[in-house]
Amino acid sequence: MIEIIDFSNAKNARGIFYGGDAGAKEAIEYENAIWMVKYPKTTRDLVNPQISYTTSPLSEYIGSMIFKMLGSPVHEVVLGTRKNKIVAACKDFTWVWINNESQHKPYELIHFHYLKNAFMSSDIENYSGTGSETSLDEVLATINGEETLTSLKGVKERFWDMFVIDAFIGNNDRNNGNWGVVLDQRTGEFSLAPVYDNGNAFFNKRSIAQIEKRLTNIEAMDEDAYKTPRCAYKYKGLDNESHSINPFDFLGNTKIPECLAALERFVSKICMDDVNKMINAIPEHYEVLSVMPNVQKTFYIKLMEIRLEKFMEIAG
């Protein structure tokens, strides 16, 4: 079993704050590093919620571990407990510790959102957006034309690897603020940021009762696995309206070579035995807190098995 780390006595990192709408976050000091603690988001704003909190910390951990298994650079994530909640702690890759005494922030994370906004402004007569729009055509145009991105190796591969792996884990929130580049403020050099923010995966608002019901229904599992999922990216349809993309339909019809190459990489690298071992190493409970019940483990694994079968069918 993996260790669940007790962060109860970890010091808050003063002056460091995190944004985003996926739940409460705070910065702590732990083992001579800065870590972002991500709490499960309350579901009280949902209609007739059947659970009190999402399982987003669990999704963050499992999603990040799968990226790591597949060879993608990814932020370091551990499961822990703080304030009587199961949390995900993500090591902040923009900070370093100097002589084990004080923190220093030599790196700046620049979200793709800002790169796209700057690039699209070059056609200001026809563009009135903010950089947050996830039109796939605009996103790919930015990747292929924005100077910072074209100067780096592996940007297209990273984008399409994320597209495929996000489909595998059911992450529908890889928006323009959830990937990007890192600027080394000491040298002025840019590099691709490690993959981060994987918490909106695996239907993290599902209750155990809902999971149990869907596990016994083959059609419902197929719907959850590949028929109904949508990703963050959109295309303009014949009705001139934007539509969210079903990644499995997209993979089955696209001719984009970089996308098809990412699918081939995924199919050649994925090992479900390793995925199963990683998930089954998560304890069911930590003291009085529920971490991951066995039925939830079964649900996650079954979803990924169905998706892998679909990927292999598409890849031929």
Cα separation, 131 vs 133, whole angstroms: 6
pLDDT digit string (tens) for 3-54? 999 999 999 998 999 987 667 999 999 999 999 999 998 654 444 444 445 7
34-38/85-91 β-pairing: antiparallel
Model pLDDT, residue 42:
67
134, 175 Cβ separation under 8 angstroms? yes
Which top CATH class is 5-315?
mainly alpha
Res 167: pLDDT: 98
Buried b (16+ CB within 10 A) or exposed e, 252-290: eeeeeebbbebbebbeeebeeeebeebbeebeeebeeee
Alpha-carbon distance 152 to 192, whole Å? Answer: 8
How much is the pLDDT for 176?
A: 96
Confidence (pLDDT) at 52: 43
For the ranges 30-39, 114-123, 206-215, 305-314, the lowest mean pLDDT is seen at: 114-123
What pLDDT sits at residue 50?
47
Lowest mean pLDDT among 104-118, 123-137, 173-187, 230-244: 123-137
| Rounded Cα distance, 200 and 197, in Å | 8
Domain ranges of the chain: 5-315
Q: State the chain's mean pLDDT as an integer.
A: 92
DSSP code, position 50: S
Compute the Cα dihedral for 302, 76, 312, 232 and give only its sign: positive
Q: Region 87-113: what's the mean pLDDT?
A: 90
On whether the pTM is more than 0.85, the answer is yes
pLDDT at 49: 46
Is the pLDDT assigned to residue 95 strictly greater than 80?
yes
Q: What size, in residues, is the chain?
A: 316
